[in-house]
Structure 1
Amino acid sequence: MEDILTPVQDIAYLDTSLKVADWHTLQEKTGHSRFPVVNKANRLVGMVTNKDIIEKNPAISIERVMTKNPLTVGSKMSVASVAHMMIWESIEVIPVVKDDLTLIGIVSRQDILKSMQMIQKQPQVGETIDDTIASQLSEKENEQQESMYEFKVTPQMTNSLGTLSYGVFTQLVCDVVQQKLFSMKKRNVAIENVTMYFLKPVQMDATLSIVPRVLEMGRKAGKLDVELYLEGILTGKAIVACQMMER
């Protein structure tokens, strides 16, 4: 966070001694509507937005209308973790604080998206996204003793909204099918068709469980059902048709 935050000396904020009228003044001056609130020691005690002050008397103290104990992040937290938090909680701005809640800056959702886009645009030297996906898959067994694969979503695998991209989902499904059939048949596989039924948003840093199940299997061709689970909830589903390659 320390690389992308707007430092406290460059942001607008309020303190507990101010009134609702001061929020209006600051809003007109900056064009913003969300402000951190600090006490005399510059420690964060709340956040105040336009929703908090609607129809409030301008003479009322900010301390009475602010949202207390807001969500905060530390300066060492990763962009991926903060992006997940902001999307999950529908937060536009989040304060960055020290361990003692001293305000050191803020991060907006726009800051997060710009940072993620920069990461995605960086050239990947030596290793392609396909290589990265394949190397991160780990095979295990689920409670039904079926083969399953675990996979962690990294920033490079997300779209502009911070969720798993459809392209990565498709490649992930293909890699799982290829690994599954190679372990069964000891033969390489050529993917003929991938039919995606649905994919719910999957945030960065999420760990997916992928379960491939054989629907049809012949000497030269096969069809598999692939399901993605996040914390036990079905998150994505696809059907894959493939051909066995001759040795």
Structure 2
Amino acid sequence: MTNLDIPRRAGWYSRLIVLHYVSSLCVWVSVELLLLTFLLRHEEGHWPTWESLSRLSPVAFWTYIRPLFQCGLVAQCLMHVYTFLDGACCGASLYLNLEQCVRTFAVYFVAIPLLKEVVPMRSVLLPVSALTLMNILSCLDALYTVRGTCHTVLEWLSHKVVLVLYPLLAFEEIWLVRQAARVVRNVPIARDFPSPMPNAYNFAIDTYYMYSALPLVMLPCSVLYYCYQVRYRRLARRANSV
């Protein structure tokens, strides 16, 4: 099929998706380079050890990497929108993708900036490193899929990385949300979202109860998402063997 045979919407829509994946890949590769630059700069060119990592400031690290990393997270949420528009996301997978977007906002746009020096460097470095690597492989795999080709080694590596790193990532994210709930409980000004407005309704949500209940939703969704990835890998292996 040539470009002329493709419907107009499919043509510009597919090009938009490819452009999005390429842009996302550039952002995540830049995040990976920033991550390596930060670690090597503080160790004067030497690879850091676990002991030296514990001495690094999580606030300095997050400030250094935050702008590009959050841009990558927004792009990651847009990928869920594309799968929904393509009709590939329905039923339980739709709710899982929605939970992933809520989790991203709660952890990386609220919890980590709120916690600052309260959390150890490990609890910030591990999610950032895991998400960066998983998204780089996911973007590469998606680009091959959009082109209508299949890179067996890349697909295998992408799923293996998700199966190994996602449990660690989910555990750290749930722990960060629980820590954020404890901090919010002792900060009255941070409990009202949005801030009390000068109107008759004065609408506000107590974020402490929201962050206290969020881990109860994140835990089963993490298990379901992991089982979905295992099932997807088995189906892909059967399809390749046929």
TM-score normalised by L of structure 2: 0.24
Higher helix share: 2
Bigger CA radius of gyration: 1
Higher relative contact order (CA 8 A, sep 6+): 2
TM-score by length of 1: 0.24
